[in-house]
Amino acid sequence: MNQVKSFDIETIRKDFPILNQQIYNHPLIYFDNAATTQKPKPVIDKVNEIYSLKNSNIHRGVHYLSTQLTEEYENARKQVREFINARSTNEIIFTGGTTHSINAIAYSFGEKYVEEGDEIIIAELEHHANIVPWQVLCDRKNARLKVVPINDRGEIIMEEYEKMLSGNTKLVSINHISNSLGTINDVKKITALAHQKDIPVLVDGAQSVQHQTLDVQELDCDFFVFSGHKIYGPNGTGVLYGKEKWLEDLPPYQTGGEMIHKVTFERTTYNSLPFKFEAGTPNYVGAIGMAEALKYLHKIGVDAIADHEKALLEYATSRLRDIPGLTIYGTSERKIGVISFLIGNIHHYDTGMVLDKMGVAVRTGHHCNEPLMDHFGIEGTVRCSFAMYNTKDEIDHFYDALIKVNEMFG
């Protein structure tokens, strides 16, 4: 599919029917994209098409519907492989989302390689999905969870990270981009440093794959995970990328139909990749819908989307800094279109509720980042996060709404 030559924001917005509505008599301004993105019409149409005309279980059917949908499901896998530049479709496992994928590696890798006294490294800016699975693993194996500190700009302190890497380190699991601060971590360097000591690295791409061109071979990470619903695809979908050598080596984390090769009451042998890790009936409708979202992203152009969102970030940051008493958390020079902030002593929840009454959807709270909030000594923030369909006019309306919030509570 050819890439669109210019970023036509009005045409793009027409592809997202949910944006064409009023909330409390105001045009909807959706700035909660880090939580989930809205779905373009091609994705909605594809899901409707499957349920209306094609629905059938895949892989095991010999009839027309099953074989047709099986082909679409495996084409979706090819689409994902191409999008992240994996070497093989054997390296693409469909899961239920980022959290599902991290738990899969925490269980599978942990069972085989983690023992008492071993260490897992994460960073202070992880969301809970990249904290709790490793805590559970460490509890189960009497291993240690080590946390790389960040500075007050919200950046990983690389010197501290390097000091933590040791012969006891079994795995590093780092988010590519912080969901609360927008910080872009240098995961290529983080991976290279770990590999110098033969330590594998998992990169949590929940907030990255939709905002920038992604190449897992260039990053050289061992595992990369992301969710479909954050890249304009259906909910309940996700991807676990793993280098083939690891996926061949690790045991399955779920068992049941499809992941088997041969079952007797004495013994079961496992299927080949990627099916070894896809037990039971997969979310084939979601996977095909997610692939449709990737096609849409490719059509618009991920680099063009990144440029647009960067312009929005710079414009919004400039405007918000004019608001008396407003503090932005996360000021790294390398960040995506996410702004977390507080206005004076106004509670984040109050700010969010008033914004909602003016048609602006933002996220309030700790954003599944309680340890990160502890770092800044706050309970939570207001978070606005941009996507391809947002505009500078929306930011102007957002600015005016925040001025009203400040007048009401300030």
Q: Is 384 noted as a catalytic residue in this protein? A: no
* CA atoms in the 13 A half-sphere facing the CB of 300: 31
Residue 94's nearest CA partner among 244, 286, 238, 226 is 238
Contact 171, 121 (CB under 8 A): yes
The answer to whether 356 touches 31, Cβ cutoff 8 Å, is: no
> Terminal CA-to-CA distance of the chain, rounded, Å?
52
DSSP structural state of residue 252: P
Tokens of 86: 């994996």
Q: What DSSP designation does 196 have?
A: T
DSSP string, 34-83: TT-----HHHHHHHHHIIIII----SS--SHHHHHHHHHHHHHHHHHHHH
Closest CA to 278 of 304, 297, 252, 301: 252
Choosing from 138, 221, 368, 384, the catalytic residue is: 368
CA dihedral (234, 386, 99, 222) in degrees, to 10, reads 110
CA 258 centroid distance within chain: 27
Q: Locate 105 and state its tokens.
A: 């590696």
Q: What angle do CA 103, 230, 50 make, to 5 degrees?
A: 95
Any long-range contacts for 11-14 (C-beta under 8 Å, 24+ apart)?
Answer: 12/300, 12/388, 12/389, 13/389, 13/391
Q: How far apart are CA 396 and CA 319, in angstroms?
A: 8
Q: How many residues does the chain have?
A: 410
Catalytic residues: 368
